[in-house]
Amino acid sequence: MAEPSRKTALLHVRRGAAGEVGHYDDFEVPYEEGLSVLDALRWIRTYRDSSLAIRYSCINANACKTCLALVNGEVEYTCIARLLPGVVTVEPLPKRPLIRDLVTDIVPDDENL
């Protein structure tokens, strides 16, 4: 095993549901070379705040195409966006209706209940 790195990344994450006044929460996440932004978001859900709403399925194959978000202002698949040490801002897609936190309504209209 490689020596655990003491570096961290700081995730600056937009929170809040549709109709609420949103805010940002900061999470310090252990950094290791090669991690994705989705890895960091999943780490936050498992070890810091499980109420964070995120959407993903295939984890890192970039096959399901459901993990889109704004990463540092750019639309990215969080599963292939590399985590870098320092501050990373993650926000929901701006042009899709917000559901909660990072989850927007990207489901085709006729697939919603």
Decide: is 51 part of the binding site for other proteins (CB under 8 A).
yes
**Contact status, residue 64 vs residue 56, Cβ threshold 8 Å:** yes
Q: Which of residues 82-111 bind other proteins (CB under 8 A)?
A: 82, 99-101, 103, 105-108, 110-111
Quick one: which segment of 4-12, 23-31, 76-84, 86-94 binds other proteins (CB under 8 A)?
76-84
Q: In sequence order, which residues have a C-beta less than 8 Å from that of residue 112 and are 6 or more positions away?
A: 105
Angle ∠(27,29,30) on CA atoms, nearest 5: 165
Quick one: which segment of 6-14, 21-29, 63-71, 86-94 binds other proteins (CB under 8 A)?
63-71
Strand arrangement, sheet containing 23-30: 23-30, 8-15, 86-91, 68-71, 74-77
Binding residues (CB under 8 A) for other proteins: these are 1-2, 17-18, 32-36, 45-47, 50-66, 79-80, 82, 99-101, 103, 105-108, 110-113
